[in-house]
Amino acid sequence: MLEIRIHGRGGQGAVVASRLIALAFFKEGKWVQSFPTFGAERRGAPVAAFTRVDDERILLRCGIVEPDILVVLDPTLLKDIDVTQGLKEDGIVIVNAPERVEVPKGRLYTVDASSIAVDLGLGTTAYPIVNTAMVGAFAGATSLVGIESVEEAIRDYIDVKVEENVEAARRACREVRAWT
């Protein structure tokens, strides 16, 4: 079973990103789960969302404490909380950042999802909506799900600026960068 934990701040779209990843895998014939957890439910507060993927029915019904992959929508969270807590030894960390960032463990990938979102008019300069770009980065970094399935999931689930969101995913898939 593949377990993915997504960290963001309220209003950035972490819950939607989790659902889009799940829907993309579902379109490829996988069993999926997607669910959020909230602390203080307000814009800007830390939020986590979870996605599980498997070839078989998923019976587990709890939060993900030992993820295989982390997706971090807001790089300031790296200073505020230990997003890598519980990350498996060979885990992957995908961060919205223009350059390398420091993470205590995991194979690091970055993409400047904020710039992509701003370029495409997704959110504002002060508060870009980076979820679809980060889902594209997930596809590019991991190759576990195809970008075509991500695009289809966006078209099925998103109802505002659909083509801009699809383009955000495509660009991030191409621009995601691995660090060694």
- Per residue in 26-35, pLDDT tens? 999 999 999 9
* Statement: the pTM of the whole predicted model exceeds 0.85: yes
What is the Cα 58 distance to its own chain's centre?
20
Enter the DSSP assignment of 46: E
Give me 124's structure tokens. Answer: 């504002």
Decide if 72 contacts 94 (C-beta within 8 A): yes
pLDDT mean over 5-30: 95
> Tell me: the pLDDT tens digits for 67-83?
999 999 999 999 988 99
pLDDT of 17 above 90: yes
What range does the domain containing 84 cover?
Answer: 2-178
Show the CA angle centred on residue 73, arms to residues 7 and 55, nearest 5°.
60
Cα separations (Å) of 118 from 100, 113, 152, 163?
20, 9, 22, 14
Q: Which residue's structure tokens are 């109802």?
A: 159
Q: What is the CATH number of the domain that holds 102?
A: 3.40.920.10
Write the pLDDT tens digit of every residue in 120-171: 999 999 999 999 999 999 999 999 999 999 999 999 999 999 999 999 999 9
Residue carrying the six token digits 């498997």: 54
Q: 34-56, pLDDT tens digit by residue?
A: 998 765 556 677 889 999 999 99
Q: How many domains does the chain have?
A: 1
CB 32 within 8 A of CB 20: no
| Contacts of 6 by beta carbon, 8 Å cutoff, 6+ apart | 14, 17, 18, 21, 48, 49, 50, 51, 70, 71, 72, 73, 134
Lowest mean pLDDT among 32-41, 58-67, 90-99: 32-41
